[in-house]
Protein backbone atom coordinates (compact mmCIF):
# COMPACT_ATOMS: atom_id res chain seq x y z
CA UNK A 1 0.00 0.00 0.00
CA UNK A 2 1.37 3.35 -1.02
CA UNK A 3 1.06 6.08 1.62
CA UNK A 4 1.97 8.85 -0.73
CA UNK A 5 -0.91 8.22 -3.17
CA UNK A 6 -3.66 9.93 -1.12
CA UNK A 7 -1.50 12.99 -0.46
CA UNK A 8 0.31 13.38 -3.75
CA UNK A 9 -2.26 15.62 -5.52
CA UNK A 10 -3.02 18.34 -3.01
CA UNK A 11 -3.31 21.29 -5.44
CA UNK A 12 -7.12 21.19 -5.46
CA UNK A 13 -7.26 21.08 -1.68
CA UNK A 14 -4.81 23.98 -1.35
CA UNK A 15 -6.76 26.02 -3.90
CA UNK A 16 -10.02 25.39 -2.01
CA UNK A 17 -8.42 26.45 1.28
CA UNK A 18 -7.00 29.61 -0.30
CA UNK A 19 -10.47 30.52 -1.62
CA UNK A 20 -11.96 30.00 1.81
CA UNK A 21 -9.26 32.04 3.52
CA UNK A 22 -10.06 35.02 1.30
CA UNK A 23 -13.66 34.93 2.56
CA UNK A 24 -12.64 35.01 6.22
CA UNK A 25 -12.36 38.38 7.95
CA UNK A 26 -8.90 39.72 8.65
CA UNK A 27 -7.51 39.18 12.13
CA UNK A 28 -7.13 42.97 12.35
CA UNK A 29 -10.85 43.51 11.81
CA UNK A 30 -12.61 44.39 15.07
CA UNK A 31 -15.53 42.21 16.15
CA UNK A 32 -18.92 43.58 15.16
CA UNK A 33 -20.78 45.08 18.10
CA UNK A 34 -23.32 42.82 19.73
CA UNK A 35 -26.92 43.88 19.37
CA UNK A 36 -28.44 44.78 22.70
CA UNK A 37 -31.95 43.42 22.89
CA UNK A 38 -34.50 44.21 25.53
CA UNK A 39 -35.33 41.34 27.78
CA UNK A 40 -38.85 40.02 27.32
CA UNK A 41 -41.15 41.70 29.75
CA UNK A 42 -43.99 40.19 31.67
CA UNK A 43 -47.42 41.10 30.37
CA UNK A 44 -48.86 44.16 32.09
CA UNK A 45 -51.41 43.17 34.71
CA UNK A 46 -54.24 45.51 35.56
CA UNK A 47 -55.25 45.94 39.16
CA UNK A 48 -58.84 45.27 40.23
CA UNK A 49 -59.65 49.01 40.29
CA UNK A 50 -58.31 49.37 36.74
CA UNK A 51 -60.39 46.40 35.57
CA UNK A 52 -63.51 47.97 37.08
CA UNK A 53 -62.66 51.26 35.32
CA UNK A 54 -61.99 49.47 32.03
CA UNK A 55 -65.38 47.72 32.19
CA UNK A 56 -67.18 50.96 33.07
CA UNK A 57 -65.46 52.81 30.22
CA UNK A 58 -66.37 50.06 27.76
CA UNK A 59 -69.99 50.11 28.90
CA UNK A 60 -69.94 53.91 28.47
CA UNK A 61 -69.04 53.49 24.80
CA UNK A 62 -65.22 53.35 24.60
CA UNK A 63 -63.84 50.92 22.04
CA UNK A 64 -61.44 48.10 22.85
CA UNK A 65 -58.82 49.96 20.79
CA UNK A 66 -59.25 53.14 22.86
CA UNK A 67 -59.13 51.17 26.09
CA UNK A 68 -56.01 49.32 24.96
CA UNK A 69 -54.27 52.63 24.33
CA UNK A 70 -55.52 54.14 27.58
CA UNK A 71 -54.43 51.22 29.77
CA UNK A 72 -51.29 50.30 27.83
CA UNK A 73 -52.46 46.82 26.85
CA UNK A 74 -53.43 45.15 23.59
CA UNK A 75 -57.01 45.25 22.38
CA UNK A 76 -57.14 41.45 22.57
CA UNK A 77 -56.26 41.68 26.25
CA UNK A 78 -59.09 44.19 26.71
CA UNK A 79 -61.48 41.74 25.01
CA UNK A 80 -60.23 38.87 27.18
CA UNK A 81 -60.81 40.89 30.36
CA UNK A 82 -64.32 41.83 29.24
CA UNK A 83 -65.14 38.21 28.36
CA UNK A 84 -63.70 36.98 31.66
CA UNK A 85 -66.03 39.34 33.53
CA UNK A 86 -69.08 38.43 31.47
CA UNK A 87 -69.42 41.84 29.81
CA UNK A 88 -71.53 41.59 26.64
CA UNK A 89 -69.49 42.72 23.64
CA UNK A 90 -70.76 45.24 21.15
CA UNK A 91 -70.53 44.12 17.57
CA UNK A 92 -68.26 46.55 15.84
CA UNK A 93 -68.59 46.39 12.16
CA UNK A 94 -70.73 47.65 9.36
CA UNK A 95 -74.48 47.37 8.94
CA UNK A 96 -75.88 46.38 5.56
CA UNK A 97 -76.68 50.05 4.85
CA UNK A 98 -73.12 51.05 5.73
CA UNK A 99 -71.74 48.32 3.47
CA UNK A 100 -73.93 49.62 0.64
CA UNK A 101 -72.59 53.13 1.25
CA UNK A 102 -69.01 51.83 1.42
CA UNK A 103 -69.44 50.07 -1.95
CA UNK A 104 -70.79 53.29 -3.46
CA UNK A 105 -67.98 55.44 -2.02
CA UNK A 106 -65.29 52.96 -3.07
CA UNK A 107 -66.67 52.86 -6.60
CA UNK A 108 -66.51 56.68 -6.61
CA UNK A 109 -62.77 56.42 -5.93
CA UNK A 110 -62.60 56.76 -2.15
CA UNK A 111 -59.76 54.86 -0.47
CA UNK A 112 -60.31 52.14 2.12
CA UNK A 113 -58.64 54.36 4.73
CA UNK A 114 -60.95 57.29 3.96
CA UNK A 115 -64.07 55.11 4.10
CA UNK A 116 -62.93 53.46 7.33
CA UNK A 117 -62.30 56.87 8.93
CA UNK A 118 -65.77 58.04 7.90
CA UNK A 119 -67.40 54.90 9.32
CA UNK A 120 -65.14 54.63 12.37
CA UNK A 121 -64.02 51.06 11.67
CA UNK A 122 -60.74 49.47 10.69
CA UNK A 123 -59.84 49.63 6.99
CA UNK A 124 -59.49 45.83 6.93
CA UNK A 125 -63.14 45.57 8.00
CA UNK A 126 -64.14 47.76 5.06
CA UNK A 127 -61.91 45.78 2.70
CA UNK A 128 -63.39 42.45 3.85
CA UNK A 129 -67.00 43.66 3.45
CA UNK A 130 -66.28 45.04 -0.05
CA UNK A 131 -64.56 41.79 -1.01
CA UNK A 132 -67.57 39.80 0.24
CA UNK A 133 -69.77 41.93 -2.02
CA UNK A 134 -67.59 41.09 -5.03
CA UNK A 135 -66.02 44.55 -5.34
CA UNK A 136 -62.65 44.45 -7.10
CA UNK A 137 -60.10 45.90 -4.66
CA UNK A 138 -57.58 48.38 -6.08
CA UNK A 139 -53.88 48.43 -5.22
CA UNK A 140 -52.56 51.29 -3.01
CA UNK A 141 -51.94 53.46 -6.10
CA UNK A 142 -55.58 53.10 -7.16
CA UNK A 143 -54.93 50.71 -10.06
CA UNK A 144 -56.96 47.55 -10.53
CA UNK A 145 -55.14 44.53 -9.16
CA UNK A 146 -54.22 41.89 -11.76
CA UNK A 147 -56.24 38.71 -11.61
CA UNK A 148 -54.51 35.43 -10.83
CA UNK A 149 -52.28 34.43 -13.73
CA UNK A 150 -52.32 37.89 -15.36
CA UNK A 151 -49.14 39.87 -15.83
CA UNK A 152 -48.96 43.53 -14.85
Instruction: Note the residue count of the chain.
Output: 152
What distance in Å separates the CA atoms of residue 90 and residue 58, rounded to the nearest whole number?
9
Helices (H), 43-139: 48-59, 64-71, 75-84, 96-107, 112-119, 123-132
Q: Look at the pTM and tell me if it is higher than 0.85.
A: no
pLDDT in tens, the chain (152 residues): 555 556 666 788 888 888 888 888 777 777 777 877 777 666 678 899 999 999 999 998 888 888 999 999 988 899 999 999 999 887 667 888 989 999 999 999 998 889 988 888 888 889 999 999 999 988 777 777 766 555 55
Alpha carbon 119 to its chain centroid, in Å, reads 22
In sequence order, what are the residues at sequence separation of 6 or more whose Cβ sits closer than 8 angstroms to the Cβ of residue 93?
121, 125, 129
SS3 114: helix
Sign of CA pseudo-dihedral 29, 35, 36, 40: negative
Amino acid sequence: MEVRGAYSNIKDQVRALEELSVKLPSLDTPEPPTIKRDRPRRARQLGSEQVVQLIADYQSGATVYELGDRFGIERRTVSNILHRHGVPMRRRGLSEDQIDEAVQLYNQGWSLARISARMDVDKWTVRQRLFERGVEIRDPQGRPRPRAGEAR
